[in-house]
Amino acid sequence: MKKISVLLIAMLLVTSLFAGCSSPAQTEKEAPEKASEESFDWPNKPFEIVVPFNAGGDTDFHARTYAKYLEPILGTPVVVVNVAGANGSGGTILVRDSKPDGYSGLFFHDSMLMNKVVGVTDFAHEALDVAATGIMDNSYILAVNTKSPYKTLDDLIGYGKANPGKLTYASSVGGYTYYVGRQIEELTGADFNIVDAGGGTDRNAALLAQKIDINVNPYGVMKPYIDSGDFRVLAVFSEERSGLFSDVPTAKEQGYDLIAQRAYFLSFPKGTDERIIKKVSDAMEQVSKMPEYAEDIATAYCVEPDYMNTADTKAYLDNAMKEFEAASEMILGE
């Protein structure tokens, strides 16, 4: 019994010694991590979101709505600044070249990629640090003036095939709607006169005045004219009918397998602290789950929240870039 007791005491002493040796080492290892976390105090001043278009459009609306809900989560003012020019490339370059301190972000969409394909820029999302996507807008519709003779998508496509170049399709050349127009031509054999008619507001005015024949844009951009009866919607380019305007048939159900969608995402200058990226991404996820936020964007633009985290947003943009590059000859008309 004495031998066993002596052995137990010896073992306890050894254990105590090892425990005493390991504790300071663990403390030293954990201390820098704790200090690092304590030193991370972003944000401690206003956070600026750059919208690369003029105020009043859908991108501007979505950015400002996000800013309103992000402010209380981040605990700092979120200020939206409009920097228009060259289909969004002006604001994009401004943010790309900004200090990567987390106080300058860019709210943009797939047109950033199209700018690279058509040569407006020599870079796209890979030149920035992507945070997350807040909205996937799959409400793209094709509309005509209600005074036009086209009642269905078949009517329009039939005329476009029989009369090459006679139907004027409005777009921002190099923008996403330009790509959609080229896709319609490629898929159906129709031949449009695709013209640069400016932004959404300008294109709405042109269709209202019957200076153009076809306008493709998200539903919300044309909603006031649809509600007033001035525009007739022939199709929505989504997999299924929208629950927010269920009377509009999809192009797919009419025999034209074409899907159009656009991700609105937030990004930062390259080299931004990963903790900032994660904090913003997590905040965007919180916003996407708010019923009041969903109501705001549904009422104004007939879209729904569709959050994608950093990894998923990067994957989406990478795949979209490959799709656009593969279709570059069609896009550029070569």
pLDDT tens-digit readout, 130-181:
999 999 999 999 999 999 999 999 999 999 999 999 999 998 766 788 889 9
Do residues 250 and 279 lie in contact, with contact meaning Cβ atoms separated by under 8 Å? no
Two tokens, residue 293: 């936020």
Matching CATH topology for 47-137+261-332 and 140-254?
yes
3-class secondary-structure state, position 37: helix
Those residues with Cβ within 8 angstroms of residue 46's Cβ, 6 or more apart along the chain or in another chain = 76, 77, 78, 79, 103
Quickly state the pLDDT bin for 18 (edges 50, 70, 90): very low
Would you state the pLDDT for residue 106? 98
Q: Which pairing describes strands 140-145 and 214-218: parallel, antiparallel, or unpaired?
A: antiparallel
Would you state the pLDDT for residue 156? 98
Quickly state the pLDDT bin for 38 (edges 50, 70, 90): low
Residue type, 232: R
Would you state the pLDDT for residue 126? 97
Would you state the pLDDT for residue 39? 64
Quickly state the pLDDT bin for 278 (edges 50, 70, 90): very high
Tell whether the model's pLDDT for residue 332 goes beyond 60. yes
Those residues with Cβ within 8 angstroms of residue 217's Cβ, 6 or more apart along the chain or in another chain = 140, 141, 143, 177, 200, 203, 204
Tell whether the model's pLDDT for residue 15 goes beyond 50. no
Would you state the pLDDT for residue 198? 80
The domain defined by 47-137+261-332 folds into: D-Maltodextrin-Binding Protein; domain 2 (3.40.190)
DSSP letter (8 states) at residue 55: T
Gap between the Cα atoms of 315 and 229, Å rounded = 40
Q: What's the rounded mean pLDDT across residues 223-246? A: 95
- Residue-wise pLDDT for 178-233, tens only, equals 889 999 999 999 999 999 888 788 899 999 999 999 999 999 999 999 999 999 99
Tell whether the model's pLDDT for residue 85 goes beyond 90. no
**170 vs 20: which has the higher pLDDT:** 170
Quickly state the pLDDT bin for 32 (edges 50, 70, 90): very low
Give the residue ranges of DSSP H helices in the chain. 2-39, 58-74, 89-96, 111-117, 153-162, 176-188, 200-208, 219-227, 274-288, 291-301, 310-326, 328-332
Average pLDDT score over the chain: 88
Handedness of CA 83, 88, 94, 100 (dihedral sign): positive
Do residues 104 and 283 lie in contact, with contact meaning Cβ atoms separated by under 8 Å? no
Would you state the pLDDT for residue 6? 40
Query: Residues of the chain with pLDDT > 90: what percent?
Result: 75
Would you state the pLDDT for residue 266? 98
Do residues 298 and 281 lie in contact, with contact meaning Cβ atoms separated by under 8 Å? no
Q: C-alpha distances in angstroms, 134 versus 98, 156, 298, 310? A: 23, 34, 14, 11
| Residue 18: CB atoms within 10 Å | 10
Gap between the Cα atoms of 289 and 204, Å rounded = 32
The CATH code belonging to domain 140-254 is 3.40.190.10
Do residues 243 and 236 lie in contact, with contact meaning Cβ atoms separated by under 8 Å? no
**What are the residue boundaries of the structural domains of the chain, listed by start?**
47-137+261-332, 140-254
Out of 8-22, 28-42, 176-190, 272-286, pick the least confident: 8-22
Would you state the pLDDT for residue 310? 98
Q: What's the rounded mean pLDDT across residues 256-265? A: 94
Do residues 75 and 279 lie in contact, with contact meaning Cβ atoms separated by under 8 Å? no
Two tokens, residue 332: 């550029």
Tell whether the model's pLDDT for residue 75 goes beyond 60. yes
Q: Which pairing describes strands 214-218 and 167-171: parallel, antiparallel, or unpaired?
A: parallel
Those residues with Cβ within 8 angstroms of residue 142's Cβ, 6 or more apart along the chain or in another chain = 153, 156, 184, 214, 215, 216, 233, 234, 235, 237, 251
Tell whether the model's pLDDT for residue 24 goes beyond 70. no
Quickly state the pLDDT bin for 95 (edges 50, 70, 90): very high
Tell whether the model's pLDDT for residue 29 goes beyond 50. no
3-class secondary-structure state, position 116: helix
